[in-house]
Structure formats: structure tokens, C-alpha cells
Chains A and B, each alone.
Chain A
Amino acid sequence: MTDETVLSVADLTVTIGTRRGAARAVAGVDWSVRAGQTLALVGESGSGKSMSVLAATGLAPRAARVTGDVRLLGTDLAALSAARRRRMRGRHVGFVFQDPMTSLNPVLTVGRQIGEASEVHLGLTRRAARARAIEMLELVGIPSAADRVDAYPHQLSGGMRQRAVIAMALVCEPDLLIADEPTTALDVTTQAQIVELVADLQRRLGTAVVWISHDLGVVAGLADTVAVMYGGRIVEQGAVDAVFAEPAHPYTAALLAARPDPDANVTELVTIPGTPPSPLELPEGCAFWPRCSVRGDSRCERELPPLVPVSAGHQVRTFYPRQPTGEDR
């Protein structure tokens, strides 16, 4: 625990005003990531995993109201002006979004888009920024970078574009890389390449990574710690080995059980019955209760379980933690 904490989030709550009332997308979330480490935020769509990161870094939609304590490199982001918060983005935090088809500007060359952050944050000239962009394209493994620097996004394949986006995120050598489902829109072989690329760059640059994903397979190979989110709350978090080996929350266990096993000769995929709760009407008690296989008593329905430790650094939000038998997998 001597490592420097890059980004920490405490009691983060995001409420989004909609026509049908206030939606609580994130409800009191705590997590942190240290230099060189990878935190995986895992959950279904709408669980609040992306929103918690966007809100922490000031990219939440305008209709969102964000409260909580967010510290980037020890600086309280809430205390900063909007302009200074903006200067932290790009310089200290880089972002890779889900779909490289839409996250690049179609009318600017990739080189220009990679270089522009370095012009703003590092004061590079246009020419120097272009040279830097070529360097970055080489770093992310794009062949003949000197030619590709002047290519437009539509001239690159999906995998190449995502590499360009990664180059863009890392151009100022940020302390933190936020990867919001960066492999979801890619085909499987390209996914693996992108995962390896990020892991490799992280080793070389010492960047902290927050990896947002619903893909447990990716997370298992990549993350140091994992936080499983459900209904805007963290339901389980801890070291990735501990959580995956001994999931204490029924939801985590169900997620792991739902992973298709390539060796097993299955005819039907395992699913979790029911649907996630709407952030417009989160239940008073445990949000997972209606879908829970353990479902003890009406206490779960009325009362929100606290996040309690099950072992060192491993916490779970349930009244009925699964016993660490290991035989469930």
C-alpha cells in the first residue's frame, strides 16, 4: 500500500434529472486506483460503472448532479475551477472509449487528433505535435506510422482506430488511463491485441488503469483489483484473484457462473433471471434482491446491506455472503 494513489473516489453519487424524475445512476461509491495498477469496474449496462468514472473526471452529462470526494493525484477535483479540472483531463487522465468508429472525429486526420492534446497541455508546436503523434503511433504498434499520421479515421480498420485512440489518450503520458469498454466494439482477435497492448504500455509507462468492462474474461487476465457494480452500488470488491476464486456476493457468483465454459459441452447458456433495476426506482433494500438466488428474508428487501469485509481487502455488500468453499466453480 505504499504505492501512490492516482485517483480515489469516496461516496460518489450521481443523480440525473430526467423527465420521469431523478435517476440515481451512482449511489455512494468508493474506489481507488494506485500507480501502475489496474482497477476493473464490472457490471451490466446501467450499473453505473461508466457513469461513476465520467462523473469523477468531470465528463458527466450536463443533467447530472455529482456529489462526493474525488481526488486525482491528491488534488480535490471538486475544489478546482472547471477550467483547471479540464486541464487535468488529457494531461493527467487519458480516455479510451468503447467505439473507435464513433470516438474519432471523421474530418480530422488521426495525427492531428493525437497531437492536439500535446499542443494544449505540453505547449508543443503543431509540427512538434505531429512528430509526437508519429512516435505515439509507433508506440501503439501501427505500421508505417509516418504515413498513417495523415490518414483520416475512415481509412483505418477498427483495431487500428482503437490503437490510434489509445495513442491519443497516452500522448501526454498521463498518470491514469480510463478504458471504457475499449474492446466491446472489436472482433475477438483484435480484442486480445488491444488488451495486450494496454497491458504492455502500462508496464512500460507505469500508468494506472481503470478498465470498465462487462467481460469477466478480460478482467481476470488484466486487473489487479475488481469492483463489481450493481444498481449504482459496489456489491463486491477486492483483489481480482480473491473475488474470482471465492465470490462472496450472489451476483458475482451468478456472473461468473454465466461465463460460457469453452470446454464444457453445453447446449444452453447460463443466465441470471430477471433484469437490472431501473435507476429511476431503486429499491430501498438490496437492489439485487428480486433476482437473488439466495434471497434470505424480507430484511434484504427493506434494508440496504452494508459493505462488509470477508477477508483482507475483500468486501461484499450482502447479508448472506457465500461461504468460501470454492466448490461452486
Chain B
Amino acid sequence: MTRFLLRRLLQSGIVLLGVTLVVFLLLQLVPGDPVRVALGTRFDPETYEALRSRAGLDQPLPVQYASYVGQALTGDLGVSFRSGRPVTAIVLERLPATLSLAITAVVFALLVAFPLGVLSALRSGSVFDHAARVFSQFGVSVPDFWMGIMGILLFAGVLGWFPPSGYVALTEDPVGWASHVFLPAVTIGLVTASILTRFIRSSVLEVLAEDYVRTAEAKGLPTRVVVVRHVLRNALIPVVTVVAVQLASLLGGVIVIEVLFAWPGVGRLTYDAVQARDYPVLQGAILLVAALFLLVNLLVDLLYARLDPRIRVR
């Protein structure tokens, strides 16, 4: 178990190193001079050179990369070209907004998708099943920004139940947070719910056809026991992966939705950093997203071992 964790952490470290390299090289390919953009109208050759050398941009690429990685290991991701503040702080302060939105969206999605997927599989071919399929078809095909705009128009505009945009920290004002998180979380959650509903339905249908479900029925177990103990226990194992992938991708920030709802998350930060060519911030944001992705994957692997006795972590 400890060995498994150590090995996985080492692997994650290697992957992160690869991510920094790819991001670093990609940014070299992007046209536009970040220092020039950062200076804007304050541009004059002397300040330009000074800023360039302070950011180390006058050094050869391998040197730039090595010093970036070396500093990153100490938790120093550089300084924003724009604000001059440390990137680590900028990125981390966006994390609560993104985390709370992503988790709320996934919880909402599960609350919708779980009963919908399971029931439509148990009653496949029924009216309920068809209705659920129409719902999930709608959810995956309608663009999320459109759904977001419609949500704002209806719930914030016409009904006035929720604020149209903005963010309040959960730690400051839980009620305010909840009312602000509702619309963006539901917008993202509906898309996720549609994907999950389909997946849960097909997973349950697959398990229902298994021999051991017939065995359970042959034992005369009540339907509830057959479904919960024999069908769901097995059907939900692959669902864990899909939920985790969804969660991980939401943790990367949902750029369109965060921009639409003025949600100050990592996605919004990435968007702003691209706009401003704030390379250190962009690198930091991507690195954070990659780290979160790896963390979620590690947790899934550990969870798998708990859910499926055939898998043992070694």
C-alpha cells in the first residue's frame, strides 16, 4: 500500500515535469511578446530590457526552463507579468472558487443522473426510459453557454430568484455562496448529468444481463436486494471512473461558464492570463490543473481497490 502510494507519487511527479516542459515549449511558440504587452503604453527600451532580464527571458531556453523547474520545486512559480504578485498565491486563491463550483456541479449531476440512469435501466423500454433518454440527449447537445444564458434570463431576470453572476466565498457567507453557485453549478451539472445518466444506464443494463444477477434472482432475494447488492455494487465500479474524469475536467475550470457567470475560478484565471499573455500565471494555472487531475486519478485508483476485490494495490 505504502509502496503503491510512493510509486504513484513518483509517477505523478514525472508526469508533472512533462507537463511543465510541454507548456514551456508551447508558450515559446505563441506569437506576441509578453513583456511588450505587459508594458503597454509605458513601453520604453530601457524598462523593456530591464523587465526582460528580471524575468530571465534573455537567457537561453534550457536555462530558462531549468530555473523555472528549480524554483517550482520550492513552490515559487514566478511572478505575474501583469500584477507583479507571486503566481503561486494568485493560482491558489482561485482554487476555492473552482473547487466549490466543481464539487457542487458534480454532486448535483449525481443527484440527477443516479436515479435517472438506474431507473431507466431497470425499466428499459418504458416511457420513463425514453423521457430520460430525451433529457440526456438534450443535455449533451445543447451548448452549456446557451443553457447558462437561458438560466440567467429565467432565474435571475424574470423570476429574480438567483443573482445573475458573481461570487461570494463559502467561508464568508454560506447562503450568499449557495445562491451564487446555484446557476453556474446547475448549468455545468446538467451537462455532466446527461453524460452520467447514459453511462449509468448502460452500465446497469450490462450488469442486469450477467449470470450472477440471475443467480441472485434464483435465490429468491427481494428485488431491492438484487438491485442494490448485486446489480449496483457491480454497475457503479466503472461509473466511478467517469465521475472522476468529469470532476477532474471541471477542476480544470470551466472557462466559458466561469467567464459567463463572472466566477473567479481557475478557468477564468486561465482565460485572463491568455488574454494578457501573462505566461507565468498561465503556466501556474495549467500546472495546478494537471496536479489536480493526477490527484483525482490517484484517489480513483485507491477507491477502485476498495470497491472491487479483484483489484489489489501493490
Contact across chains for B214 and A105 when beta carbons are under 8 A apart? no
Chain B residues contacting A215 (CB-CB under 8 Å) are none
Among residues of A, the one whose C-beta sits closest to the C-beta of B215 is A103
Tell me the chain A residues, 225-273 only, with Cβ under 8 Å from chain B: none
Q: B: which residues have CB within 8 A of A?
A: 210-212, 214-223, 225, 229-230, 233-234, 237, 307-310
Contact across chains for A116 and B219 when beta carbons are under 8 A apart? yes
Contact of B234 (CB < 8 Å), options: A95, A97, A106: A106
In the bound assembly, the distance between CA atoms of A94 and B219 in angstroms comes to: 7
Chain A residues contacting B222 (CB-CB under 8 Å) are 86, 120
Q: Quick check: is A56 within 8 A (CB to CB) of the other chain?
A: no
Q: Quick check: is A168 within 8 A (CB to CB) of the other chain?
A: yes
Contact across chains for B219 and A89 when beta carbons are under 8 A apart? yes
Contact across chains for B233 and A107 when beta carbons are under 8 A apart? yes
Chain B residues contacting A94 (CB-CB under 8 Å) are 218
With A91-B220, A121-B220 as contacts: A106 and B215 at CB distance below 8 Å: no
In the bound assembly, the distance between CA atoms of A94 and B220 in angstroms comes to: 9
Q: Quick check: is A173 within 8 A (CB to CB) of the other chain?
A: no
In the bound assembly, the distance between CA atoms of A117 and B225 in angstroms comes to: 11
Contact across chains for A90 and B234 when beta carbons are under 8 A apart? no
Chain A residues contacting B310 (CB-CB under 8 Å) are 106, 152, 154
Contact across chains for B220 and A88 when beta carbons are under 8 A apart? yes
Contact across chains for A120 and B225 when beta carbons are under 8 A apart? yes
Chain A residues contacting B225 (CB-CB under 8 Å) are 116, 120
Chain A residues contacting B307 (CB-CB under 8 Å) are 107
Q: Quick check: is A144 within 8 A (CB to CB) of the other chain?
A: no
- Min CB–CB distance B229 → chain A (angstroms): 7
Can you add 8 more A-B contacts, CB < 8 Å, to A90-B220, A97-B211? A86-B221, A88-B220, A89-B219, A105-B216, A106-B310, A108-B230, A116-B225, A169-B218
Contact across chains for B210 and A102 when beta carbons are under 8 A apart? yes
Chain A residues contacting B237 (CB-CB under 8 Å) are 107
Chain A residues contacting B309 (CB-CB under 8 Å) are 106-107, 109, 152, 154
Q: Quick check: is A104 within 8 A (CB to CB) of the other chain?
A: yes
Contact of B220 (CB < 8 Å), options: A89, A107, A108, A154: A89
Chain B residues contacting A86 (CB-CB under 8 Å) are 217, 220-223
- Min CB–CB distance B274 → chain A (angstroms): 45
Contact across chains for B212 and A105 when beta carbons are under 8 A apart? yes
Contact of A59 (CB < 8 Å), options: B210, B218, B308: B218
- Min CB–CB distance A55 → chain B (angstroms): 13
In the bound assembly, the distance between CA atoms of A165 and B215 in angstroms comes to: 9
- Min CB–CB distance B2 → chain A (angstroms): 24
Q: Quick check: is A69 within 8 A (CB to CB) of the other chain?
A: no
Contact across chains for B214 and A168 when beta carbons are under 8 A apart? no
Q: Using a Cβ–Cβ cut-off of 8 Å, how many residues does chain A contribute to the interface with B?
A: 31
Contact across chains for A105 and B220 when beta carbons are under 8 A apart? no
Among residues of A, the one whose C-beta sits closest to the C-beta of B207 is A105
In the bound assembly, the distance between CA atoms of A88 and B219 in angstroms comes to: 9
In the bound assembly, the distance between CA atoms of A102 and B211 in angstroms comes to: 6
Chain B residues contacting A87 (CB-CB under 8 Å) are 220
Contact across chains for B215 and A105 when beta carbons are under 8 A apart? yes
Interface hub of B221, B225, B230, B237 (most chain A Cβ within 10 A): B221
- Min CB–CB distance A86 → chain B (angstroms): 5
In the bound assembly, the distance between CA atoms of A257 and B131 in angstroms comes to: 57
In the bound assembly, the distance between CA atoms of A32 and B120 in angstroms comes to: 39
In the bound assembly, the distance between CA atoms of A152 and B233 in angstroms comes to: 14
Contact of A107 (CB < 8 Å), options: B216, B218, B223, B308: B308
With A106-B310, A108-B229 as contacts: A59 and B214 at CB distance below 8 Å: yes
Contact across chains for B212 and A168 when beta carbons are under 8 A apart? no
Chain A residues contacting B212 (CB-CB under 8 Å) are 102-106
Chain B residues contacting A99 (CB-CB under 8 Å) are 211
Contact across chains for B214 and A116 when beta carbons are under 8 A apart? no
Chain A residues contacting B233 (CB-CB under 8 Å) are 105, 107-108
Chain B residues contacting A116 (CB-CB under 8 Å) are 219, 221, 225, 229
Nearest first, the 4 closest Cβ-Cβ pairs linking A and B are: A90-B220, A89-B220, A95-B218, A102-B211
With A105-B230, A107-B309 as contacts: A117 and B215 at CB distance below 8 Å: no
10 contacts between A and B (CB under 8 A): A57-B218, A59-B214, A86-B221, A103-B211, A103-B212, A103-B214, A105-B216, A105-B234, A116-B229, A120-B221
- Min CB–CB distance B217 → chain A (angstroms): 6
Chain B residues contacting A109 (CB-CB under 8 Å) are 309
- Min CB–CB distance B79 → chain A (angstroms): 51
Contact of A117 (CB < 8 Å), options: B214, B219, B229, B230: B219
Contact across chains for A90 and B230 when beta carbons are under 8 A apart? no
In the bound assembly, the distance between CA atoms of A59 and B220 in angstroms comes to: 10
- Min CB–CB distance B125 → chain A (angstroms): 9
